[in-house]
Chain A
Amino acid sequence: MSKIYYTDEHEWLKVEGDVATVGITNHAQEQLGDLVFVELPQVGTKLEQGDDGIVVESVKAASDVYAPASGEVTEINSALEAEAALVNASAEGDGWLYKMKLSNPDELNELLDADGYQKLIG
């Protein structure tokens, strides 16, 4: 069983057990336009909820992606190193950014569900 959460900074997390897959939402990629570079964290990096350091770059601008929850990075989507546009093609699928082992699953209670996020973006 997996559950999907959203943040008001336009990230999504798919949680299975204590592992979350993190990405930016389809709405976010539409707003950013064509991505040309994604700066991913290193495996093993310990993130606190709200940390920056992950950057998605469109042709024109760089945007921070904040850690939606605290935990340790366990895997990164290395396909994005060659093909950042994968995020545009499939933001909430093949264009995921990284996976993390959650250190404080209670943080998830503060996040939005699909309906809440849909309301946020209108």
Chain B
Amino acid sequence: MKTTPLHSLHCDAGAKMGVFSGFDMPLFYPLGVMKEHLHTRASAGLFDISHMVHIAIFGESAATLVEKLCPYHASQQNVGTGRYTFMLNPDGGIIDDLIVTRLAEDRFLIVANAGCAEKDLAHISAVSAGWKAKVVVLPRGFVALQGPQAEAVLASHFDVEDMAFMSAKEPQEGWLISRSGYTGEDGFEIAMPVDECAAFAKALVDDERVEWIGLGARDSLRLEAGLPLYGQDLEMDISPHEAGLLWAIPKDIRTGGSYIGAQPLADAVAEGRKRMRVGLLPEGRPVRGGTSLKNEAGETIGEVTSGGFGPSLDAPLALALVQVDAADDPIFADMRGKLIPMKRTKLPFVPHTYKR
């Protein structure tokens, strides 16, 4: 099993560890998922996200290569900004969702999901063959500092007050700070050389406003923020249109383009989607991913893709993929024959507080 540069810090902090994408990761600390979640929304939480993969693409053709891989105008992207996007397969399904940051005219950084790293790299290598661009995996320690106090805490280490949401900068060799995250809160993600990570994380968590936050609360925070998780809400056979991610594709290339998956996407946009991602509030109890959804007639109309409990919402919540023609009618979760009413609601469940 793989470990991150912060593994011994988690153990010292008393974390309950568990396997995630092949890494031994902290699930929760002695504070517990509930308080970790609420602390992040009230103050600042520190997350070890070193399992994520940093892929650098650089060289003369870097921008056009990114435009081939991802459906957006990478060559028009401002240096020092990041963008939420994905790689599509030739059938228009999602290979992985990503943040792509432009660090220089000819240099991009892709941050990918740990569980998708192998197939992402195979795909990028195959596509980039013969291009004037190099693809290199960077060994990095990676932490997220999230919550209303994140800026104040990080400001004692770096000059970050003037950074807007999704802006990024390299304060020193091997370091990258971006104003981003996956909790719905304002915050930062900070990458650095592996051997500098533990000391920096320790300095952050020594601040009394900061608590360690495990994967349990990371999941409940992103779920409340309505953010999809690859492997649950996103899969190879789910299109961006179905996943509710069309907003991430510029309008002019939704009907065609030179990126991989452009034609199936254009077809899907023209035909309209049959399934769509929705937010649901289960009545009375949590309903987990994989649970089948029914209409009033008892017909299967979809499936919960992620479900759990939202500590800030103080209620159970779920993301689901449902048939478009059934999405406005009553929906029930089938829990071993027991039908739980599911109330459709707007996403996100808890408003985002990004610094625009």
When each residue 1-43 of chain A gets 1 if its CB lies under 8 Å from chain B and 0 otherwise, what string results? 0000000000000000000000000000011011011010000
- CB A6 to nearest CB in B, in angstroms, measures 21
B217 within 8 A of A: yes
B34 within 8 A of A: yes
- CB B312 to nearest CB in A, in angstroms, measures 11
Q: Chain A residues near B219: list those with CB within 8 A.
A: 59-60
When each residue 270-300 of chain B gets 1 if its CB lies under 8 Å from chain A and 0 otherwise, what string results? 0000000000000001101000000000000
A57 within 8 A of B: yes
CA distance A36 to B316 in the complex (A): 9
Which residues of chain A in 40-65 are interfacial with respect to chain B, using CB atoms and an 8 Å cutoff? 53, 57-62
Question: Main SS of the interface on chain A?
Answer: mixed
Q: Is the CB of A59 within 8 A of B285?
A: no
CA distance A39 to B287 in the complex (A): 12
B140 within 8 A of A: no
B309 within 8 A of A: yes
5 sampled A-B residue pairs with Cβ under 8 A: A34-B35, A36-B316, A58-B33, A59-B308, A60-B308
- CB B129 to nearest CB in A, in angstroms, measures 41
The contact size tier of chain B is 20 to 34
When each residue 72-113 of chain A gets 1 if its CB lies under 8 Å from chain B and 0 otherwise, what string results? 000000000000000010000000000000000000000000
Chain A positions within 8 Å of B, measured between CB atoms, are: 30-31, 33-34, 36-37, 39, 53, 57-62, 88
Q: Is the CB of B16 within 8 A of A59?
A: no
Q: Is the CB of B220 within 8 A of A60?
A: yes
Q: Is the CB of B285 within 8 A of A33?
A: no
Q: Is the CB of A33 within 8 A of B28?
A: yes
Q: Is the CB of B308 within 8 A of A37?
A: no
Q: Chain B residues near A30: list those with CB within 8 A.
A: 16
State the 9 A-B residue pairs at the shortest beta-carbon distance, nearest first. A34-B34, A36-B309, A59-B33, A60-B216, A34-B32, A59-B309, A37-B285, A34-B33, A57-B286
